[in-house]
Chains A and B, each alone.
Chain A
Amino acid sequence: MDAFTVHIGTALPLRRSNVDTDQIIPAVYLKRITRTGFEDGLFAAWRNDPEFVLNRPEFDGVTVLVAGPDFGTGSSREHAVWALQDYGFKAVISSRFGDIFRANAGQAGLLAVTVDGDVVNRLWQLVEDNPAVEIVVDLPKSHVRCGDLVADFDIDDYTRWRLLEGLDDIDITLDREAYISTYEENRPSFKPATRLF
């Protein structure tokens, strides 16, 4: 995974709440077995509407998504994160995320940061007033900046460290393999196995 430090880019104001992962990418796009190429599925149903914000030319090239509360609820599909990344998004800002989506984002290297709802409102206003305005998402300083606005964001320390260092979670755990082996030696015998002998 590439390290994430500071990202600067234009933003998409998505004035919707409860954007579940079925909206981010419908199930029909999940049949592929590849790890990339999901950009065509991003918000697929909503993109049929020419007025949908992502279809407006002033938001071409956006890399930061500013969304309403409860973004990424529902299905565990990591394809939702991949679709956002494949489209070009580097960071998502919301006042609340679905837990699994936020974990998936941290795994895949999409920065999902939580800010107060009024910060989201102010960012929406700034971006709608001037779609060319850039948002700075600063992970070392744990804040977002846009014009005069500077707002701290929440992200858990472990995810923050992994993203800053660009570390692979599995590598970290495999370095601790001795703990796993010790644990396994002490598991009760009544725990089931998936094969019947």
Chain B
Amino acid sequence: MSSNLLRTMSEKVWDEHVARAVPGEPDLLYIDLHLVHEVTSPQAFEGLRAAGRTVRRPDLTLATEDHNVPTVDADGPIADPVSRAQVQALRDNCAEFGVPLYSLGDVEQGIVHVVGPQLGLTQPGMTVVCGDSHTSTHGAFGALAFGIGTSEVEHVLATQTLPQARPKTMAVTVEGALPDDVTAKDLVLALIAEVGTAAGQGYVVEYRGAAIEALSMEGRMTICNMSIEWGAKAGLVAPDETTFAYLRGRPHAPAGADWDAAVGHWRALATDVGAVFDREVRIDASTLSPFVTWGTNPGHGVPLSAYVPTAESFPEGPARQGAERALTYMGLSAGTPMREIAVDTVFVGSCTNGRMEDLRAAAAVIGGHRVSSAVRMLVVPGSTRVRLQAEAEGLDKVFTSAGAEWRGAGCSMCLGMNPDQLAPGERSASTSNRNFEGRQGKGGRTHLVSPVVAAATAITGRLSSPADLPPVATGA
């Protein structure tokens, strides 16, 4: 531990969770919330069973079904027998070990990283883990939240702790204000393109500055969600009035005297004035514009107004070879304007951009327009609650009357573990988080975009921003 008494927020959260500290060994970190889903947990429960162990704190553990679930015909049994067996294994394991589970059909079911915050379970100053790399999402609340593997899932189930080496700290300060039609997604894509996909390795990142403070909780979640895409262990934002207003009154948020005690504690988490980060990065939000990816990792991003880059524009060595491979895989020629790239599919959803604000933003763009006849557009709410809220606001009708498909909640085409996949060679504009080769289906080609760029792209059939759209006739 640093001898400096001034601490950053992540160091304060860390220090509060150390159950055992011995020099030369990792700290034993206590975990406040363990989120579980069907893909990375079956072998962990099996390990417990084989060793005759129990779940230490089922009351700090919550499971939901998200990766495999169909987004159509969700009322019947899951058609794919392997997916069905995996979901059934989660149900059996949760029943056997006493872990609360929100199953398909439950109003609280949804993507694990959408469900935790909307229930008010994700709170400032907590440690949150899940067998899922996008656990970093929960950092938007000032929680220390990170993804773990299945062996670690088993470890947390058995002990409610994890041995962890203390990470380094980084500040990403975003000053200025985001221009119109430039979103949290554009900001994080621009950041990753700037610093590279490995810049965060070994760091917990604190996002701060005027542009971050101006974001809603949902925008902060989008930013923190993609911390892992540039290698960071976790990303967090200091809790403030926006955070408290979001949490107050949610089912699991503190109430009464506990609320006051909690808020007092949460306010004290902010990084001390004068505390030193191991690394600092600065960005001016006012210079940003809609950002899209052209290649096969999230660092392969450019402004929508730019062109597909040449491989030679990358440093000689692995980066250039990677760019050459990416251009070939994506079927793109250097110098092509990004706005000329035609897509077959538009996907709005995922733990990155599947919340209410995202759906409202996409609906506001698409209202009064038609989805291009060359495009299939899927709109997949991040949770069943989000679906119901969107339907109450009439957003489903906005999407379906424009020709988009309105689906049930789940991870869906973000990773194509359910039937929502790209066919080989198909190209998507996707509000998800990864443009890896084959991520959305074998041979599929993914361009990462914001919800408003996704909606505009669905209308024109080519990568577009709302500014590219013709005005909608009114009063008809």
Judge whether A77 is part of the interface by a CB distance below 8 angstroms: yes
B438 contacts across to A, CB distance below 8 A: 22-23, 26, 45
Provided the pairs A18-B322, A33-B89 are in contact, do residues A74 and B436 lie with their beta carbons within 8 angstroms? Answer: yes
B437, A45: Cβ atoms under 8 Å? yes
B132 contacts across to A, CB distance below 8 A: 75-76
Provided the pairs A73-B231, A179-B28 are in contact, do residues A191 and B43 lie with their beta carbons within 8 angstroms? Answer: no
Q: How far is the CA of A158 from the CA of B25 in the complex (A)?
A: 6
Query: Of A17, A18, A190, which is within 8 A of B262 by CB?
Result: A190
B82, A31: Cβ atoms under 8 Å? yes
Judge whether B432 is part of the interface by a CB distance below 8 angstroms: no
Interface size on B, residues (CB 8 A): 86
B43, A34: Cβ atoms under 8 Å? yes
Minimal beta-carbon separation of A182 from chain B (angstroms): 7
A107, B151: Cβ atoms under 8 Å? yes
B20 contacts across to A, CB distance below 8 A: 176, 179
Provided the pairs A45-B442, A170-B53 are in contact, do residues A96 and B416 lie with their beta carbons within 8 angstroms? Answer: no
A147 contacts across to B, CB distance below 8 A: none
User: For residue B50, which residue of chain A has the nearest CB?
Assistant: A35
Judge whether B126 is part of the interface by a CB distance below 8 angstroms: yes
Judge whether B154 is part of the interface by a CB distance below 8 angstroms: yes
B161, A78: Cβ atoms under 8 Å? no
Query: Of A99, A103, A104, which is within 8 A of B201 by CB?
Result: A99
A176 contacts across to B, CB distance below 8 A: 19-20, 28
A173 contacts across to B, CB distance below 8 A: 28, 155, 158-159, 161, 163
Judge whether A13 is part of the interface by a CB distance below 8 angstroms: no
B151, A104: Cβ atoms under 8 Å? yes
A99, B202: Cβ atoms under 8 Å? yes
B51, A188: Cβ atoms under 8 Å? no
Query: Of B53, B151, B417, which is within 8 A of A169 by CB?
Result: B151
Minimal beta-carbon separation of A178 from chain B (angstroms): 9
Judge whether A70 is part of the interface by a CB distance below 8 angstroms: yes
A79 contacts across to B, CB distance below 8 A: 150
19 contacts between A and B (CB under 8 A): A27-B67, A31-B39, A31-B68, A31-B417, A35-B47, A69-B198, A76-B148, A81-B149, A99-B202, A100-B133, A103-B148, A104-B151, A157-B24, A174-B159, A180-B56, A189-B261, A192-B120, A192-B252, A196-B251
A residues whose Cβ falls under 8 Å from a Cβ of B: 15-18, 20, 22-23, 26-28, 30-35, 45, 68-70, 73-79, 81, 96, 98-100, 103-104, 107-108, 156-158, 169-170, 172-174, 176-177, 179-180, 182-184, 187-196
B residues whose Cβ falls under 8 Å from a Cβ of A: 19-20, 24-26, 28, 30, 32-33, 39-40, 42-43, 46-47, 51, 53, 56, 58-62, 67-68, 80, 82-83, 85-86, 89, 100, 120-121, 123, 126, 131-133, 147-152, 154-155, 158-161, 163, 165, 197-198, 201-202, 228-229, 231, 233, 251-254, 258-259, 261-262, 265, 297, 318-319, 321-322, 325, 415-417, 434, 436-439, 442-443
